[in-house]
Chain A
Amino acid sequence: MTAALARERRSERLRLLVQPVAVLLLVLGVLVWAFSQDLDSIERQSLNASALLSATWDHLVISFVVTALVLVVAVPLGVLLTRRWARRVAPLFLGIATIGQASPAIGVLVLFFLATGMEGLWAAVLPIAFYTLLPVLRNTVVGLQGVDPALVDAGRGIGMSSGAVLRRIELPLAVPLILAGLRTALVLAVGVATLAVFVNGGGLGLLIDTGYKLARFPVLITGAVLAVGLALLVDWLGAVAEAYLGPKGLR
């Protein structure tokens, strides 16, 4: 069993090395290909360094604001839902979050736009955050519920307050699961952020949309590959965080 575990660790470490290299090669390859094409003036408007950088930057901003928002909302909510007095309402909140994720992302985005009339960054960020809330919320709840009750009992028994038990025992032990949820949420956010273009939120969706509507394939492909590369890169960052930020005694 330990041999299998060691093998799994080795393959995981290998993946940590290979993934970013593969992503870089893919992105570089597509960029070289796109810029070596005979570009017309419309294509040149999208395919130039400053436009690509700003689209990528917008995309990253949307993804990270979403993640920060999810983190700030889902982790405290998950903590509240696992307190003894809140056990009964937990299914309700998990249900709402499940609805958020089960409905199509573009539907949530458009409904939010129709309801509020907002445009720009926040019009994209808020619905996408709602859409990606579930993995972090559920993993926080499951992670906290998974802490051995004997440890909580031991903590209380030696005189730790319930807050101290939460801060020093329960949360650190739930960190691996919370990080795993966060990684899923980030990857989802990067993917769904391509839809931000429909509420004027910018991002790589702009390239995809332009390329598709104007039938400019180099633009379409560049936008799509950059979005894929970004998602893989973010997933890689999540994997690195999981490998190095979890509690040391459990690794």
Chain B
Amino acid sequence: MASEIELVDVTKRYPGADQPAVDSVSMTIPAGEIVVFVGPSGCGKTTTMRMINRLIEPTSGRITIDGEDTLSLDPDRLRRGIGYAIQQAGLFPHLTVGQNVGMVPGLLGWKKSKSADRVDEMLDLVGLDPADFRDRFPRQLSGGQQQRVGVARALAADPPVLLMDEPFGAVDPITRGNLQDELMRLQAELRKTIVFVTHDFGEAVKLGDRIAVLGQQSRILQYDTPEQILANPADDTVAGFVGAGASLKQLTLLRVREVELSKAITATTADDPAEIVRRLAAAKREFALLLDARGRPTGWVHARTPSKPVPVGDSVTLQSTLQDALEAILTEGGAAVVTGARGEYVGLVEIDTVMSTVKRLREEAGA
């Protein structure tokens, strides 16, 4: 379930200011897509987002959700139907994780038991074990876990629309990457209409179905798919914001599942080392990948030292971006192991594959 959001000539003017903070913004946010507002700080992107749930009242203009004018609704009731996640999660420190997540269902008057079930379901959804986390207090969680709870709280009442204001801005880069992957996995399942505000263009490219690059007073400089913005920036300001390394950023647009995987010589941990050496010689390869009984990669063995496997360091999943894969290749040297949903081995990404993909992307962009 998702809703289309439409902004028509939305303006916000603060009393005493010469210039409006947001000047006549019109845009359509399609149902079920992630639209990222990206722009320099102070450009009005957060103000624009906050006018959608009326935390800030527009001075003029119209905002509709599924054709319904938001100004015609009671603001508190409107907000209960719109998920809201902010930087540093904004969890209430005196309430448990469960109470935080169950807040909106409570406000909507859900029965206690239904609300409790929903809390567990939501914690599960964001990858936190309900039994372990339900009764903890926010300060007993890491920054990344707090952010997950923040997302769970935003989703608890199953709102069709989600507003996210730099939700991953305050966590370390590795955790941020994980949270972004997690959000994409959730979105693939839930198909909400998500308005996401960030000043990190890389994040915008990774998450957005569409990106709105905003300038001063929230003027829309370009509103398009990440591919188009990377390949054909509308003007110099957008090009400047896209910044250097556009081709590296394009790697974040592609998923490992979209490129051709190569095959490693595999062996199981039960195999005889001499047999592995024979198979490697027959295939003219140096390394074999060891799999455990459930098909999960455990280590590499070299033809010369078949009884001394080296553990697999960095692996990627089918959902990982090609940028992550490149990272893993550089750490592992030569190829990155790709695993499936249950951690089982599905193939390898090799450096040549990445190189040829970059080349193809460049040619397409140049055309």
* Chain A residues with a Cβ under 8 A of chain B: 150-151, 153-161, 164, 168-169, 172-173, 247-250
Contacts and interface: CB of A to CB of B under 8 A. Distances in A.
**4 closest residue pairs by CB, A with B:** A154-B90, A159-B80, A247-B94, A249-B137
B139 A249 contact: yes
B95 interface: yes
A244 B76 CA distance: 34
B79 A151 contact: no
A247 B93 CA distance: 9
B107 A156 contact: no
A249 B94 contact: yes
A16 to B, nearest CB: 22
Nearest to B95: A249
Interface string B82-97: 1110111011111110
| Interface range for B | 20 to 34
B87 to A, nearest CB: 8
B76 A161 contact: yes
Q: Interface centre among A168, A249, A250, by most B CB within 10 Å?
A: A249
A158 B103 contact: yes
A237 to B, nearest CB: 23
Contact of A157 (B81, B86, B93, B139): B86
Contact of A164 (B86, B91, B94, B107): B107
10 contacts: A150-B86, A151-B93, A154-B86, A154-B90, A158-B107, A159-B82, A160-B107, A173-B93, A173-B94, A249-B96
A172 B81 CA distance: 26
B226 interface: no
Contact of B79 (A159, A173, A248): A159
Interface in B1-60: 53, 55
B152 to A, nearest CB: 12
Q: Interface centre among A151, A159, A249, A250, by most B CB within 10 Å?
A: A159
B154 interface: yes
A173 B79 CA distance: 23
A154 to B, nearest CB: 3
A153 B92 contact: no
B104 A158 contact: yes
Given A157-B84, A157-B86, 9 more contacts: A151-B92, A157-B53, A157-B79, A158-B107, A159-B81, A161-B76, A249-B93, A249-B137, A249-B138
B84 A158 contact: yes
Interface of B: 53, 55, 76-84, 86-88, 90-96, 103-104, 107, 137-139, 153-154, 163
Interface residues of chain B: helix, strand, loop or mixed (majority): mixed
Nearest to A247: B94
Nearest to A249: B137
Contact of B90 (A151, A159, A248, A250): A151
B154 A158 contact: yes
A156 B103 CA distance: 12
A237 B143 CA distance: 37
Nearest to A160: B107
A153 B86 CA distance: 9
Contacts of B82: 159
B65 to A, nearest CB: 14
B88 A150 contact: yes
Contacts of A150: 86-88, 90
B133 to A, nearest CB: 14
A168 B55 CA distance: 19
Contact of B107 (A159, A173, A249): A159
Contact of A248 (B88, B91, B94, B104): B94
B56 to A, nearest CB: 11
A126 to B, nearest CB: 35
Contact of B153 (A153, A158, A172, A250): A158
A204 to B, nearest CB: 39
Contacts of A247: 93-94
B169 to A, nearest CB: 12
B360 to A, nearest CB: 43
Contacts of A161: 76
Contacts of B154: 158
Contacts of B77: 159
Contact of A158 (B79, B88, B94, B96): B79
Contacts of B80: 158-159
Contacts of B76: 159-161
Contacts of A153: 55, 86, 90
A150 to B, nearest CB: 5
A250 B137 CA distance: 8
Q: Interface centre among B78, B81, B87, B94, by most A CB within 10 Å?
A: B94
A183 to B, nearest CB: 20
Contact of B94 (A154, A159, A250): A250
Q: Interface centre among A154, A155, A173, A250, by most B CB within 10 Å?
A: A154
Contacts of B81: 159
Q: Interface centre among A153, A157, A168, A173, by most B CB within 10 Å?
A: A157
A250 B140 CA distance: 10
Contacts of B78: 159
Contacts of B93: 151, 173, 247, 249-250
A155 B86 CA distance: 11
Nearest to B97: A249
